[in-house]
Amino acid sequence: MRTFRILLSKELRSFFLSPIAYVVLALVMLFNGVAFYASVRILQTAPSEGSLVTWTFNSPWFYLSYFTIFPLITMRLFSEEQKLGTIETLLTAPVRTTEMIFSKYVATVIFYCVLWLPSLLNFYVFQWITRGMADIPTGQLIGSYTIVLTMGLFNIAIGCFASSLTKNQIVAAILSFSMILLHFLLGAFMLYLSGQSNQQYAELTSYFASIQHIKSFASGLIDTRPIIYYLSFTALVLSLTHQVLDFRRWKV
């Protein structure tokens, strides 16, 4: 546990002392701010069944930030170690592969959560400005950030795996983006097919369609099945990362 804390502290410093981290934070704040502003404008234009929360988390700007975050925050995790040659030092040191992976993974998850804090603050500031007249359902807010966190755990694991495969950060970012986009499009394609098929197939696609998960949770419907789905595949992808690094350890 002590080794894990030391490694975690090192990874957190590398995140928060890096100028790239603040560039990513500014970029995410920009996208989320535009999504929030666009949602407010929609509600000002005409009455709507959707709330400020549902419009914000179903905005194209939200998806733009969603696909941008993960390659940027995960591309350097293992690729940089391999490029600098420090991965051999870690692999030959009395450090378990599990500790090395989880220290980088947990540090990335912490930074990922920090990225979303300003967007959460937007809702409370808006409610304070409107003196509570704006309807911001607590259930929808909890559901939205629950699915954002759960899907983030899965996508960060994909980024870790992609970064462990190459020493080039750009290649790692492209691999991560491609796998995340492929998973998203596969779910969207299956969702489209479910509209042409029977109800039984439609229920099956609800496990895979990320866009459907976001819509459901943003409307306040918190379903444990997508949570179990993402957590299970997070464990699977992290185990694959473990296998890749263990293979490198034996080669060293």
C-alpha dist (Å) from residue 17 to 27, 77, 88, 111: 17, 15, 24, 12
Q: What angle do CA 121, 214, 209 make, to 5 degrees?
A: 155
Dist CA 234 CA 118 (whole Å): 26
Q: How far is CA 235 from the centre of its chain?
A: 15
DSSP string, 215-226: HHHHTT---HHH
The parts of the chain modelled with pLDDT lower than 50 are: none
What is the Cα–Cα distance from 252 to 89, expressed in whole angstroms? 10
Which is nearest to 113 in space by CA: 151, 84, 78? 151
Contact between 10 and 104 under an 8 Å Cβ cutoff? The reply is no
Q: What sign has the CA pseudo-torsion 41, 43, 47, 50?
A: positive
State the burial class of residue 25 (Cβ atoms within 10 Å of its Cβ: 0-12, 13-18, 19+).
middle
Q: Give the pLDDT score at 130.
A: 76
Q: Name the residue with tokens 């042409």.
A: 196
Quote the pLDDT of residue 112.
92
8 Å CB contact between 208 and 186: yes
Q: Please give the pLDDT value at position 191.
A: 67
* Beta carbons within 10 angstroms of residue 65's beta carbon: 22
Find out whether 224 and 144 touch, Cβ atoms under 8 Å.
no
Tell me the C-alpha distance between 101 and 10, whole Å.
13
pLDDT the model gives residue 197: 53
Give the pLDDT confidence score for residue 36 in this predicted structure: 84
**Which of 29, 15, 176 lies closest to 106 in space, CA to CA?**
15
Of 90, 136, 145, the residue nearest 117 (C-alpha): 145
**Beta-carbon contacts of residue 129 (< 8 Å; ≥ 6 apart):** none
Give the model's pLDDT for residue 206: 65
Whether the Cβ atoms of residue 97 and residue 242 lie closer than 8 Å to each other: yes
pLDDT one-digit tens code per residue, 200-250: 555 666 677 788 888 888 888 888 888 998 999 999 999 998 888 877 666
Instruction: Give the distance from CA 133 to its chain's centroid.
Output: 32
Alpha helices for 78-209 (secondary structure H): 79-84, 86-92, 97-129, 138-164, 169-194, 199-205
